[in-house]
Amino acid sequence: MAYPESFRYTKEHEWIEVDGKTAKIGITDYAQNSLGDIVFVELPKIGSTLEKNKVFGSVESVKSVSDLFAPASGTVTAVNEELATAPEKINTDAHTAWILTLELSEPSEIGSLLSAEDYQKYIAEEGAH
């Protein structure tokens, strides 16, 4: 599975695709693979605010539950309603199955996130443990 160069990544395995002041957020292929069959995505409400590094929801698979951490701060402008009925879309293609879109409040925060290359190095080390 390719990790798009246009995304930035967190060590908690979220991706963010920034377009000016707006951004799309999802979880990485590595994350979906670790979770296994995803059955439930807990989404925040449209209009709620996210704070970088703070929990904004969770993803549950049959075997475990994982918190979602905000890669950046901002206001939720849309959530992917498809995931309410078909959360397994994240397993099928984690990098197109976005979770929410965000109006960024601090676009400079993106600078501290991992590039595709750095993220892949990071998960290679994780997998080795």
Partner 1 sequence: MSSAATAPVLRKTALNSTHRHLGAKMVDFGGWDMPVEYSGLVAEHMAVRTGVGVFDVSHMGDIQLRGPSSLAAVQRISMNDASKLAVGQAHYSALLYPQGTFVDDVIVHKLSENDYLLVINAGTREKDVDWVRSQIGAMPGVHVSDYSDYYTQLAIQGPRAAETLAKLTNADLSTIKNYWFTWATVCGLANTMIARTGYTGEDGFEIYVPSDEPTSVRVWNEVLEAGREFGILPCGLGARNTLRLEASMALYGHEISEEITVFDAGLDRYCKLEKGPFVGAEALNKIKAEGGPKRRLVGLEVIERGIARDGYGVFDDEGKQIGYVTSGSPSPFLKKNIAMAYVPLDFSAVDTEVVVQCRSNAVRAKVVGLPFYKKPKKQS
Q: Contact positions toward partner 1, by CB under 8 A?
A: 33-34, 36-37, 39-40, 58, 60-63, 65, 129
Smallest separation, CB 8 to partner 1 (Å): 27
CA distance 128 to 56: 29
Residue number with CB closer to partner 1 (46 or 62): 62
The three-state secondary structure class of 71 is coil
Residues 6+ apart with CB under 8 A from 15: 3, 4, 7, 8, 9, 25, 26, 27, 28, 71, 95
Which residue, 114 or 123, is less far from partner 1 as judged by CB? Answer: 123
Minimum CB distance to partner 1, residue 6 (Å): 29
Q: What does each C-alpha distance from 1 to 55, 103, 120 come to in angstroms?
A: 26, 28, 11
Nearest to partner 1 of 20, 127 (CB atom): 127
As measured in angstroms, the least distance from the Cβ of 40 to partner 1 is 7
